[in-house]
Amino acid sequence: MSLYTKSVVAIFFLLFGLVAVICMLTLMGRAERKIGATFLRRLHKIAGAIFAVMFLVISYFCLHYVEMAGEGLSTRAMFHGVLALALFFILALKISIVQFYKQFLRYVPGLGMTVFGLAFAVFFTSAGYFFLVTEKTTVAGETTSQVSESSGVERGEALFDKQCSFCHYADRTDSKMGPGLRGVLKKETLPVSGRPATPENVTQQLLSPYQNMPSFRSLSEQEIEDLLIYLKSL
């Protein structure tokens, strides 16, 4: 699953959480309701169940990502993981109280709001960050498309730092999450895929990746050109 797909799934995850919270607040805070209490409880239960299932699915792919990253996780990714772990435990506690410890039901609304607050924070440290960085990178590429090749190296380096440095070293051939890219276009073949080391094959790898690398279809032609200029300079 690509980063873009996981980010879109995370939006729906947050929306189902929001539906569950609105149902809960409506049930608790409004004496007169246009929608019946029975329907609201059922909708709250369904939205909450979908929210929990989506959380588990997203967590599975994130754990796979953590396994691939090893010790190369960024500070943001570690903070994201801590928030997700807290979300898991509080959600499990809320479900346990509802199912088995009904004498503590008075705490469930507060736990529900805490779960949604954590879900909001988890979303914006991952999917929100992804969309923000992608948008900034696209705007930067569109506004600097007419500058010289030397500026292209600078833009390519900045783009590499934002989009690629988490997984690849630029100044060495050692592996990080992916292979180091020093001199990558001076070799006969590309690492991992074994394809000829040409700009065309690097572009193909960015748009239709081989194996576990995420796709970067959001990159403009100018951004890809800048990145290739930078890779040639390594």
Is 60 exceeded by the pLDDT of residue 11?
yes
Task: Return the DSSP state at 234.
Answer: -
What is the pLDDT averaged over residues 96-121?
Answer: 91
| Helix then strand then coil, % of the chain, to nearest 5 | 70, 0, 25
HSE-up (13 A, CA, CB side) for residue 95: 13
The residue among 73 and 216 whose pLDDT is bigger is 216
What residues does each domain of the chain span?
3-125, 134-233
Is 50 exceeded by the pLDDT of residue 146?
no
Quote the tokens at residue 156. 């390519």
Is 90 exceeded by the pLDDT of residue 134?
no
Choices 3.40.190.10, 1.10.760.10, 1.10.3720.10, 3.90.550.10: CATH for 134-233: 1.10.760.10
What is the pLDDT averaged over residues 180-198?
Answer: 88
**Cβ neighbours of residue 204 closer than 8 Å, sequence gap 6 or more:** 195
User: According to the model, what pLDDT value does residue 115 have?
Assistant: 93
Query: Could you give the CA distance from residue 161 to residue 149 in angstroms, rounded to a whole number?
Result: 18
Under 8 Å between Cβ of 177 and 69: yes
The residue among 151 and 101 whose pLDDT is bigger is 101
36-77, pLDDT tens digit by residue?
888 999 999 999 999 999 998 888 877 776 666 555 556 777
User: According to the model, what pLDDT value does residue 150 have?
Assistant: 63
Residues in the chain, how many? 234
Angle between helices 199-207 and 221-233 (to 10 degrees): 130
What is the pLDDT averaged over residues 206-228?
Answer: 87
User: According to the model, what pLDDT value does residue 30 have?
Assistant: 60
Under 8 Å between Cβ of 196 and 188: yes
Task: Return the DSSP state at 197.
Answer: -
What is the pLDDT averaged over residues 96-114?
Answer: 91
What is the pLDDT averaged over residues 146-160?
Answer: 76
Phi, psi of 229 (to 5 degrees): -60, -45
Q: What is the pTM of this model?
A: 0.52
Is 50 exceeded by the pLDDT of residue 132?
yes
User: According to the model, what pLDDT value does residue 44 have?
Assistant: 92
User: According to the model, what pLDDT value does residue 143 have?
Assistant: 47
Under 8 Å between Cβ of 187 and 197: yes
- Could you tell me which residues are beta bridge partners of residue 189? 196
What is the pLDDT averaged over residues 210-222?
Answer: 85
